[in-house]
A and B are shown apart, each in its own frame.
Chain A
Amino acid sequence: MVVRDPDVKDGPLAGYDHGGFYCEMFGRNGLAHTADIRRRLNKLDSSGLRRRAKAAERELYNLGITFTVYAQAGAIDRILPFDVIPRVISAREWVQLESGVKQRVAAINLFLHDVYHDQKILKDNVVPADLVLGNDNYREEMHGVSVPKGAYVHICGTDIVRDGKGTFRVLEDNGRTPSGVSYVIENRHLMMRAFPDLSEGIAIRDVDEYGAQLMRTMQTVAPGGATDPTVVLLSPGKFNSAYFEHVFLAREMGAPLVEGQALVVENDKVYMRATSGLERVHVIYRRLNDDFLDPIAFNPESMLGVPGLFEAYRKGKVTLANAIGTGVADDKAVYAYLPRIIRYYLDQDPIIENVPTNICREPDGLKNTLDNLDQLVVKPVGESGGYGVVIGPRASKRQLAELRAKLKADPDNFISQPVVNLSVCPTLVGRAVEPRHVDLRPFALTGDSTWVLPGGLSRVALRRGSLIVNSSQGGGSKDTWVLA
């Protein structure tokens, strides 16, 4: 079936066919809120579109908005490919997304406080205790440690997709050190320079506020008694692939960018080595994993961390954002329980649903999984991340038989989900505009309240038919427009 836009007779979008997927620009057969943008896009001829796309790409290199890949031949600067056709979100859709993200972050923070204190949710058997306490990301050391404002996940990136019906669903929560927000802001700047005519007169929600909001959030979670707290951003250094983002955020916040060696702990207080000597630090926005933070408390091999940092943190002399031990909340195993976690703490239904998930440790979930094995994605939970995922429709009979045996032997270790037909967005590919699958990662900041950056990072799988949007596997990004 060829599905074409009825409003479009010629121009770059004329041949565009979004197939059976939900399209962010067309919906199923035309969306009112994108009509203006489509019309303008179509006024550009294909070669003009390509020329401007090339100029935008060159600018990414010149501005050094790159991540560095270290290979034998030396350091190679790569850009995250940028697609010039924006992904558009209506004001009404954004209301749902924003409130849904806020709800989720609230539940996650309450959950983390609970599992590191009274563990009521485990005692009430809403979430199996072994799933949490036996989880690799559960940090024993955090038990009984209080954090300012009860905020554990100060910066949250929630990966959201749209299914074939156009319904938003959460695919994953990122509550450790989510990245990508710098692209949201840089993509907008790039877009405004390359295509000022596309957005002229259209009210689009601003994204420039992020740095200031992040700084304010960090200040509100400073240890008690600190007036005019000093906030720093702790980076693993310039060899980290996200270093550009660390620089970007430090600058947007107006905060010093530091590496581990620049910090020192004396009498449980944290100081930075400045030109004028040692200076007290109150809040650390850290872009370093838990393991590397403190060689005394965690991985003794870490050269990136600060000896004694955890002790200072435990005593409330410094705030870390995000808190230590948040990984237990964004784990695959716990993800499946998030709808119940939301109901448990907030007594509300989830505003954005999960992708439907069968929990195989439960009889119904196991039965559903075994009955539909060839149509489901089966994921092992617990320690080993993405390892061992089996995609039913692509698995051989033998693989399925093996999987069936494993499921029966150890159902606790698995969840299963249907294959989600991610929505698509028109994307410039060579000379043509073709549909490519996209996801969305909104960023939420939480101190004494939660603020969500309008829009978020739209990642796009540039390979035809691919559902994988990760930059390491041929993904790019788009500017995300939330209409006011």
Chain B
Amino acid sequence: MPSLLARFAENIYWLGRYLERAENLSRILDINETYARDDAGGPSWRRVLDLYADTERFAANHETIDVHSVVWYYLFDRDNPSSIVNCIDLARENARSVRHLISTEMWTQVNVFRKELSEMRTTKVGVANLSGLCHQVIHGCQSFEGVAEGTFFRGEPWCFYQIGKYIERADQTTRILDMGYDRLSAGEGYSGAWVDWNVLLRSVCGYHAYRSRHPGVSNPHDIATFLLYDTEFPRAAALCVERITSRLQEIERRHMERRKPGVEAKRRELEFLLETGPGRELTPQSLHHYLDQIQIALAALSDEVGRAYFTGR
């Protein structure tokens, strides 16, 4: 197998990340729409903006925060660099750069998906079709993932694809949890609680898995634990970190060299965070802080992977 160019490793890594990002962003829009609909106190689209620290940027070009403006911003706005349509464009551009390294089926899938998505931009977005649009995006991303699973040669490029995908997924799972948890723990008096955890779990395809893991009455603590630590759940942060670790080890084996110290340090930091937990009683505040730490550690790991493998030195 010919050696992998540093630049292409980076392209493949981001191909994995952007598709995963688009999928999760759709999940968040979908779940928030459901929340917002049941919310007597008015829709809370601001929450999504907060989640991605976009409040200021959004305010610069928008007067009101409502379902139309926020959903358009995240689904189709070309001026929002992390909108879904831009994510898929970037995924496709990265795929185009490494078209010789991925399977023809993967390329065709993302190429057609991107075209369909651009055509969807003419759709008027409203509450009635939001869920449908989100599911279309999710379906496109999942199809890509399935095609990759079935056709992508398991060489070094595959490792970088997996690392990108799992770093993004771990990051996004913590964001979804963050968004839902304050509502989950809003107290016994809150009648909508069980609807909320139901929606949260469904948004990460974890409802049935969770039910079988925790039959009976649910509580926010169990749900948080499940999403973070259950290594049999494919979107759990701990499972993502496990996968990242084994792909990093595989790359080291392929290069026949010792661990890259920078990468290793950040990877262990993540492992440590997940092994020790928030360290005190779980409250919305402590969890929020803890999830922040995980997100920061993931970003640092991403930087180190870039330094170690994407510069070609």
- Which chain A residues have a beta carbon within 8 Å of chain B's beta carbons? 61-64, 230, 238, 243, 247-248, 250-251, 254-259, 261-262, 272-279
Is residue B166 contacting chain A, with contact meaning CB distance below 8 A?
no
Report whether A278 and B312 are in contact in the complex, using a CB–CB cutoff of 8 Å.
yes
Report whether B309 and A275 are in contact in the complex, using a CB–CB cutoff of 8 Å.
yes
Report whether B255 and A273 are in contact in the complex, using a CB–CB cutoff of 8 Å.
no
Report whether B255 and A275 are in contact in the complex, using a CB–CB cutoff of 8 Å.
yes
Q: Which of B93, B96, B251, B313 contacts A273 (CB 8 A)?
A: B313
Q: How far is the CB of B90 from chain A (nearest CB, A)?
A: 13
Assembly CA distance A397 to B208 (angstroms)? 86
Q: How far is the CB of A322 from chain B (nearest CB, A)?
A: 21
Chain B residues in 8 Å Cβ range of A230: 2
Assembly CA distance A255 to B257 (angstroms)? 24
Is residue B18 contacting chain A, with contact meaning CB distance below 8 A?
no
Q: Which residue, A64, A247, A248, A272, has most C-beta atoms of chain B within 10 A? A: A64
Chain A residues in 8 Å Cβ range of B251: 275
Is residue B9 contacting chain A, with contact meaning CB distance below 8 A?
yes
Report whether A62 and B7 are in contact in the complex, using a CB–CB cutoff of 8 Å.
no
Chain B residues in 8 Å Cβ range of A277: 312-313
Q: Which residue, A62, A272, A276, has most C-beta atoms of chain B within 10 A? A: A276
Report whether A276 and B313 are in contact in the complex, using a CB–CB cutoff of 8 Å.
no
Write the B73-117 contact mask toward A (1 if CB under 8 angstroms, else 0): 000000000000000000001001101100010011001100100
Given A257-B8, A273-B6, 7 new contacts (CB under 8 A): A61-B115, A254-B2, A256-B4, A261-B7, A262-B312, A275-B3, A277-B313
Interface CB pairs A-B, < 8 A, 11: A61-B115, A64-B111, A238-B97, A243-B96, A247-B99, A257-B5, A275-B4, A275-B6, A275-B156, A276-B255, A277-B312
Q: How far is the CB of A290 from chain B (nearest CB, A)?
A: 24
Mostly, the B contact residues are helix
Q: How far is the CB of B261 from chain A (nearest CB, A)?
A: 16
Assembly CA distance A202 to B4 (angstroms)? 42
Report whether A247 and B100 are in contact in the complex, using a CB–CB cutoff of 8 Å.
yes
Chain A residues in 8 Å Cβ range of B219: none
Is residue B311 contacting chain A, with contact meaning CB distance below 8 A?
yes
| B277-313 interface with A by 8 A CB criterion | 309-313
Report whether B5 and A274 are in contact in the complex, using a CB–CB cutoff of 8 Å.
yes
Chain B residues in 8 Å Cβ range of A262: 5-7, 312
Assembly CA distance A433 to B8 (angstroms)? 45
Assembly CA distance A261 to B311 (angstroms)? 11
Q: How far is the CB of A314 from chain B (nearest CB, A)?
A: 25
Q: How far is the CB of B63 from chain A (nearest CB, A)?
A: 28
Assembly CA distance A262 to B6 (angstroms)? 8
Chain B residues in 8 Å Cβ range of A238: 93, 96-97
Q: How far is the CB of A355 from chain B (nearest CB, A)?
A: 38
Q: Which B-chain residue is minimally distant from A253 (CB atoms)?
A: B100
Report whether B4 and A274 are in contact in the complex, using a CB–CB cutoff of 8 Å.
yes
- Which chain B residues have a beta carbon within 8 Å of chain A's beta carbons? 2-9, 93, 96-97, 99-100, 104, 107-108, 111-112, 115, 156, 160, 251, 254-255, 257, 309-313
Report whether B99 and A251 are in contact in the complex, using a CB–CB cutoff of 8 Å.
yes
Q: Which of A250, A259, A276 contacts B100 (CB 8 A)?
A: A250
Report whether A276 and B3 are in contact in the complex, using a CB–CB cutoff of 8 Å.
yes
Chain B residues in 8 Å Cβ range of A259: 7
Mostly, the A contact residues are mixed
Chain B residues in 8 Å Cβ range of A274: 3-6, 312
Q: Which of B96, B97, B254 contacts A64 (CB 8 A)?
A: B96
Q: Which A-chain residue is minimally distant from B2 (CB atoms)?
A: A256
Assembly CA distance A337 to B158 (angstroms)? 53
Q: How far is the CB of B143 from chain A (nearest CB, A)?
A: 14
Report whether B9 and A275 are in contact in the complex, using a CB–CB cutoff of 8 Å.
yes
Q: Which residue, B5, B108, B115, has most C-beta atoms of chain A within 10 A? A: B5
Chain B residues in 8 Å Cβ range of A258: 5
Chain B residues in 8 Å Cβ range of A248: 100
Chain B residues in 8 Å Cβ range of A250: 100
Q: Which B-chain residue is minimally distant from A259 (CB atoms)?
A: B7
Assembly CA distance A61 to B107 (angstroms)? 12
Q: How far is the CB of A475 from chain B (nearest CB, A)?
A: 24
Assembly CA distance A247 to B310 (angstroms)? 20
Report whether A63 and B111 are in contact in the complex, using a CB–CB cutoff of 8 Å.
yes
Q: Which B-chain residue is minimally distant from A250 (CB atoms)?
A: B100
Assembly CA distance A40 to B166 (angstroms)? 53
Chain A residues in 8 Å Cβ range of B255: 275-276
Chain A residues in 8 Å Cβ range of B6: 262, 273-275
Chain A residues in 8 Å Cβ range of B3: 256, 272, 274-276, 279
Q: Which B-chain residue is minimally distant from A66 (CB atoms)?
A: B111
Report whether B104 and A63 are in contact in the complex, using a CB–CB cutoff of 8 Å.
yes
Q: How far is the CB of B255 from chain A (nearest CB, A)?
A: 4
Q: Which A-chain residue is minimally distant from B110 (CB atoms)?
A: A64
Q: Which A-chain residue is minimally distant from B102 (CB atoms)?
A: A251
Assembly CA distance A275 to B12 (angstroms)? 12
Assembly CA distance A258 to B2 (angstroms)? 12
Assembly CA distance A272 to B311 (angstroms)? 11
Q: How far is the CB of B113 from chain A (nearest CB, A)?
A: 10
Chain A residues in 8 Å Cβ range of B257: 276
Chain A residues in 8 Å Cβ range of B97: 238
Assembly CA distance A259 to B107 (angstroms)? 20
Report whether B312 and A64 are in contact in the complex, using a CB–CB cutoff of 8 Å.
no
Assembly CA distance A254 to B108 (angstroms)? 20
Report whether B7 and A251 are in contact in the complex, using a CB–CB cutoff of 8 Å.
no
Assembly CA distance A64 to B313 (angstroms)? 33
Assembly CA distance A254 to B115 (angstroms)? 29
Chain B residues in 8 Å Cβ range of A261: 7
Q: How far is the CB of A242 from chain B (nearest CB, A)?
A: 14
Assembly CA distance A243 to B160 (angstroms)? 23
Q: Which residue, A238, A272, A278, has most C-beta atoms of chain B within 10 A? A: A272
Report whether A62 and B5 are in contact in the complex, using a CB–CB cutoff of 8 Å.
no
